[in-house]
Each structure stands twice: as structure tokens, then as C-alpha cells.
Amino acid sequence: MSSFVIRGNLCYSINSNQINIRPQAYLVCEDGVCAGIFDALPERYAALPLTDFGDRLVIPGLIDLHIHAPQFAFRGLGMDMELLDWLNTYTFPEESKYAQLDYADRAYGQFVSHLRRSATTRAVCFATIHTPATELLMEKMENSGLISYVGKVNMDRNSPDYLCEESAKKSVAATEHWICETKSRFARTKPILTPRFVPSCSDALLQGLRGLLEKYALPLQSHLSENFGEIAWVKELCPDTEFYGEAYDRFGLFGGDHPCIMAHCVHSSDEELELMKKNGVFIAHSPLSNTNLASGVAPIAKYMEAGLRVGLASDVAGGDTENMFQVMAGAIRASKLRWRLLDQEVKPLTVDQAFYLATLGGGSFFGKVGSFADGYEFDALVLDDSALEHPQELTLRARLERCIYQADERHIAAKFVSGTRLF
């Protein structure tokens, strides 16, 4: 494992309302883990290799809690519909192409090389229902040096014939086979159970997935309370439930004894939120997707105040970019419109909160991730903002703010994941 020292202008969250800025400080990495921030390097670290990044900003790697790898191919296209029509018109036809490995090889190759260059150091990914293509994606993610969870998707009802598994039994069997093939194969890439959402999963399938969750102690991801049409459909499909989340919870697929991420939660009721809090369910807030698909705007400041666990997500291709800087800015903008137009009770998100959500907020799904404090895994981005010209000298804080609104992969000079430098 790697031990070294870097020097630069360190910026990281110490809580959801405060960014700590350490100008020209040394950050020590010992065996892949942050081991101290110093204004002058202590003698005991003098022998470690030192890289001085000069006047550049250094921030924790950004965490994407929810991204659909097969949808990367049509990012920025087909934004003229709401969720259910969008799925049927654009998404399902594209995902069906991953039955062909040569297509998957090309498309996932593009996805992974973009993600590797991006601000994302860790991601939680949906693949498709196809096992060989999902394994190929996992191999590519592993080789990228990024850390990720990848899910083979389950769908056995209300889906087009060309993208529907034959039965709950076959879906569960294929998933178990895939888990056994991949759970120990990779160092950085792990399987995650991935029922697409309640409308596309029968009771028997959800029951079967609970069995796999217990047998293999896996985390789980899905979608929740994203769109009004979707929520009404779930109510029709599950008339005995009081709220959408209960349709997962009655099968033990809603956190509690396992890590769980639910994407969106735009229109979650108080009961749903209460259960998520009790069960430690992570909310993957996807502001670009929620605006592109006109789903709505989740009251994120309220969720944070209530003590819910929240991170940010690109949700490509509902979101049109994998750039997590854009996701942070999008979260702030969406929260301002919500506040101005809908509800003055929930304050707009601040820069500090958005930065926290993209680092520590989502990072905590992966353990001690998202900070430079002692004991956190050493994930870092070195930002060269010299191309973002300004006629005056800006403070470090102002430079960080501008990066949140304006940076993309061209501004990333170096990237470290768990103590390994990717570039």
C-alpha cells in the first residue's frame, strides 16, 4: 500500500455547513489512508515521497451514488418526456442492446473512460438485466482504478418483451450465479442487488432477492418516489401499502440490516421519510435528472435537517452529464427554484451543503470516505483552475466556489483513489 505526501490548498467539509480550507498544507497518506494535515511537515514523514501541487486546490474525490452505465450512450438526448414514457421510448430500447457483448464492450468502454477522467472517484452503478455485459462492465470498472458497486438489474414484469426476464425464478437464479461469479473476483468493484423499481419487479422476485441479500450480505439499490405517475402506479400495484417505500420494506429490502440506496425521493411522504431515517436508507439526490424529466425537486435541506443520509447522484441518463461539479451546482439551483416557487419553509442549499453532499454525504456509504480528516481513505482531486481566469486574485474559498459551478474534467490535474494515483 502506498504512503506519500502531497502539498496544496486543501479544501474539505468538516460538517454539512462548513468547509475547512488549509492553504499550502501537507496531507500525508499512509497505506492509502489520510494520516494528518500539517503546515510544516513533521520530521517523521520527511522520508516519504512528496508531490507539491503548488497553488492548485485539492479536494476529496466526488461520490456518485446513482448512475446508469448503459444509459451513458444517450446522455443529453430524449429529454422531452416524463419518466414512464422516457423509459419506454428511449431507455428500454437502449438497454436491450447490451444483450450483445460487442455493443456492451464499445459502449461501456466509453462510459468507463469518461468516468475515469471525471471528478468521480466512487460510483454506485446500475447495469442492465444482462449478466455477461454486467460482468464486462465490472471488469472495466476494476481496471479503471475507480471504486464502485455495480448491479445486474432485475426486471420480470411490466417491461417490454425485449427487456424482461422470463420469470422471478430465472431472474433470481441468474442473479445468484452473477453474485457468485463476481463477489470475490475484484478488489475495487463489488456487486449490489438492483431491483429496477417496484413496477418492474414481481412480489416473487422481491422475495427471492431478500433471500440473496441474507445469504450473501449484499447492499441494495433501487428507485423511490421519483415521479407522480410512477407513485400512482405503485399504489395501484400494491394496494395494501401506505406508501411506496413500504413496497420494498415488506420484503426486507429497505435498509435496516443492510446498506440501501434509494434514488430520488422527490415526493416522499413523512411516513416514508421516517422509515428511511429509522432504517438508515441513503437518499441519492439527482437534481439534473429530476429537472430534465420534470419529476420535481426534493426538499434536500429538510432531509438533511431531519438527519436523513443524503448524497448526490448524476443519474445518467436522466441526468445529462457524469460531471459531479454540475450535479452540485444543479442541486443548488433546483433548491432555489423550489424555495422561490413552491415552499419558503425549506431553505435553498448552500455551496457548503452541496459540497458536503458530494463528498462526505455520499462518501459515508463507502465507509470513512469524503474527507481529509485522519483515518479517511485517501481519495483526492487536484484542481487546476488557472484557465478560469479572473482579473483579480481570488480567495481560495472563491476559487472553490467557481470550480463547483464551472469545473469539468479539463480542470482535474491529478486524481487519487484510496491512495493510488490514477493520473
Q: Does 196 bind ligand GUN (CB under 6 A)?
A: yes
CB of 288 to Fe ion, least distance (A): 11
CB of 321 to ligand GUN, least distance (A): 14
CB of 197 to ligand GUN, least distance (A): 4
Number of residues that bind ligand GUN (CB under 6 A): 11
CB of 324 to ligand GUN, least distance (A): 17
Which partner in Fe ion, ligand GUN, none is near 156 (CB below 5 to 8 A by kind)? none
Q: How far apart are CA 94 and CA 85, in angstroms?
A: 14
Q: Which stretch binds Fe ion (CB under 5 A): 238-246, 311-319, 355-363, 382-390?
A: 311-319
Q: Which stretch binds ligand GUN (CB under 6 A): 53-61, 83-91, 254-262, 346-354?
A: 83-91
Identity of the residue, 68 or 140, whose beta carbon is nearer to ligand GUN in the bound complex = 68
CB of 224 to ligand GUN, least distance (A): 9
Q: Does 68 bind ligand GUN (CB under 6 A)?
A: yes
Shortest Cβ contact with ligand GUN: which residue? Answer: 318
Q: How far apart are CA 414 and CA 117, in angstroms?
A: 9
Identity of the residue, 71 or 371, whose beta carbon is nearer to ligand GUN in the bound complex = 71
Q: Does 366 bind ligand GUN (CB under 6 A)?
A: no
Identity of the residue, 58 or 65, whose beta carbon is nearer to ligand GUN in the bound complex = 65
Interface pick for Fe ion out of 64, 230, 249, 315 (rule CB under 5 A): 315
Indicate the residue type of 386: S
Interface pick for ligand GUN out of 289, 321, 353, 418 (rule CB under 6 A): 289
* C-alpha to C-alpha distances, 242 to 252, 255, 280, 289, 302, nearest whole angstrom: 16, 18, 20, 26, 22
Q: Which residues pair with 312 in a beta bridge?
A: 285
Indicate the residue type of 122: R
CB of 28 to ligand GUN, least distance (A): 40
Residues at the contact surface with ligand GUN, assessed by CB under 6 A = 68, 83, 87, 91, 196-197, 223, 226, 289, 315, 318
Residues at the contact surface with Fe ion, assessed by CB under 5 A = 263, 315
